[in-house]
Amino acid sequence: MSDQKPIIRTDAPAPEGFEGEGFFATKLSSVIGMARKFSLWPLPFATSCCGIEFMATLNPTYDASRFGMERNSFSPRQADMLMVCGTISKKLGPVLKEVYTQMAEPKWVVAVGACASSGGIFDSYSVLQGIDKIIPVDVYVPGCPPRPEQIIEGVMQVQALAESESIRRRDSAEYQHLLDSYNISNEEK
């Protein structure tokens, strides 16, 4: 358990600020964080069994749209969160990288399932042993397949990250260095 794990608050507290009659003043980054947090649009990159559990998360029993994920965008240009559910083989690796590069900042990546996190039970010549070999990952959701409740916890961790992230993070040198280590360039595509 690393101490960098974002803290999930389920009581939706108001951000710190100064309050008076008819107004509430707070930092811009808190407001933007709140807005981003409650309107994450996922791109379901569902390849195999975890994809069916993801479909179960979207459907009424575990309803993901109460977290703001009402519109699953299959177009990378309009998505915030890339949820990679299922095994990624080496043949599909370039496709995944292309999809990731086409997404606009800010973007988060969730590796759902054991296969996406580390190759899972398929220790073979044709399976990519974890998508963090080709793209940077923010949240790993282990399980084979993870229960919908675990997928929701993963989403809530992304929400905690989105809320607390500095709005200058995507321009910082450290982030650029991270992308360079994966040979992903941030130029206009």
Q: Which residues contact 125 (CB under 8 A, 6 or more apart)?
A: none
Q: Is 56 in the site for other proteins (CB under 8 A)?
A: yes
Q: Is 9 in the site for other proteins (CB under 8 A)?
A: no
Start-to-end Cα distance in the chain: 37
* Cβ nearer to other proteins, comparing 55 with 178: 55
Number of residues that bind other proteins (CB under 8 A): 35
Alpha-carbon separation of residue 152 from 67, 68, 110, 124, 147 (angstroms): 9, 12, 11, 30, 9
Q: Is 60 in the site for other proteins (CB under 8 A)?
A: yes
Cα distance between residue 187 and residue 189, in whole Å? 6
Q: Residue from 33, 42, 68, 119 that binds other proteins (CB under 8 A)? A: 119
Q: Is 123 in the site for other proteins (CB under 8 A)?
A: yes
Q: Is 2 in the site for other proteins (CB under 8 A)?
A: no
Report strand pairing: 81-85 vs 139-141.
unpaired
* Six-digit token string for 28: 């811009």
Report strand pairing: 81-85 vs 42-46.
parallel
Cα distance between residue 10 and residue 178, in whole Å? 31
3-class SS of residue 176:
helix
Least separation in angstroms between residue 58's CB and other proteins is: 9
Q: Is 145 in the site for other proteins (CB under 8 A)?
A: yes
- Asked if residue 152 lies in contact with residue 69, where contact means CB atoms within 8 angstroms, the answer is no
Q: Is 97 in the site for other proteins (CB under 8 A)?
A: no
* Cβ nearer to other proteins, comparing 81 with 162: 81
| Among the residue ranges 12-20, 58-66, 159-167, 168-176, the one whose residues contact other proteins (CB under 8 A) | 58-66
Q: Is 182 in the site for other proteins (CB under 8 A)?
A: no
Q: Is 86 in the site for other proteins (CB under 8 A)?
A: yes
- Give residues in contact with other proteins (CB under 8 A): 45, 47-49, 52-53, 55-56, 59-61, 72, 74, 86-87, 89-92, 95, 99, 118-119, 121-127, 129, 133, 144-145, 147
